């Protein structure tokens, strides 16, 4: 807590601002507030996010990453049309959290930019994830659930090893063919996943809903 307070104070001094709230404590809204995060794990960083209007639809997100002693590690900038805030999640279980920055939100699904957590900061990638939920499921695998319709959704499974991201399987869940919704949706494997099989990935998806 002392390190957190010191780093936050240093960032506030540099930015000319004080008392920035934690991003995950703010409610999503059309207008964002500047906010901060601290990553978990042995290689911890402080992140500050400044939001500024870009045009009548978009905002610019300027992210600053610092070591806990206040030393600058890196800066990143994003254009966003989403009302959500950036978030931190350890997607592969290596103890270093990934940064997910929402770029655009539709009726339900959001497109996220992925930056992989490393011991020196975040490695920006060209990978974009789409869905209403991005959740780790263990063994270096995470899933992205995306709505297809009011009664159906796709779930993509990814394996993240180091800086390598592989889309390993996709399943489709639907209630269209179900007589009793209490029985849960029908699940089918539509791409990849031949090694573990349909039952394995459907089980992962159903267990994380």
Q: pLDDT digit string (tens) for 140-160?
A: 999 999 999 999 999 999 999
| Residue 200 located in a structural domain | yes
Find the domain containing 142 and state its range. 132-209
Phi/psi region, residue 197 (left: phi>0; alpha: psi -120 to 50; beta: rest), is left
Query: Per-residue pLDDT tens for 63-121?
Result: 999 999 999 999 999 999 999 999 999 999 999 999 999 999 999 999 999 999 999 99
| Residue 27 located in a structural domain | no
Please give the model's pTM, rounded to 2 decimal places.
Answer: 0.87
| Residue 164 located in a structural domain | yes
Give strand pairing partners of 88: 99
| Residue 155 located in a structural domain | yes
| Residue 146 located in a structural domain | yes
Residue 172 CB partners (closer than 8 Å, separation 6+): 148, 152, 153, 154, 155, 187, 188, 190
For the ranges 8-22, 62-76, 164-178, the lowest mean pLDDT is seen at: 8-22
Residue 96 · residue 43 · CB < 8 Å: yes
| Residue 204 located in a structural domain | yes
Confidence check: pLDDT of 208 > 70: no
Total domain count for the chain? 1
């Amino acid at each position: 807590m002392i390190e957190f307070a010191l780093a936050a104070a240093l960032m506030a001094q540099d930015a000319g601002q004080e008392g920035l709230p934690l991003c995950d404590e703010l409610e999503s809204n059309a207008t964002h507030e500047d906010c901060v995060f601290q990553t978990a794990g042995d290689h911890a960083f402080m992140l500050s996010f400044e939001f500024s209007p870009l045009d009548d639809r978009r905002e610019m997100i300027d992210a600053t990453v610092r070591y806990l002693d206040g030393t600058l590690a890196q800066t990143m900038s994003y254009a966003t049309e989403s009302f959500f805030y950036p978030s931190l999640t350890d997607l592969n279980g290596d103890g270093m959290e990934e940064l997910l920055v929402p770029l655009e939100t539709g009726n339900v699904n959001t497109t996220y930019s992925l930056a992989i957590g490393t011991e020196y900061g975040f490695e920006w990638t060209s990978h974009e994830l789409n869905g209403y939920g991005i959740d780790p499921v263990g063994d270096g695998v995470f899933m992205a659930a995306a709505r297809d319709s009011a009664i159906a959704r796709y779930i993509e499974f990814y394996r993240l090893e180091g800086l390598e991201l592989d889309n390993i399987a996709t399943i489709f869940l639907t209630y269209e063919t179900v007589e009793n919704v209490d029985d849960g949706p029908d699940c089918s494997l539509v791409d990849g996943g031949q090694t573990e099989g349909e039952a394995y990935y459907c089980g992962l998806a159903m267990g994380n809903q």
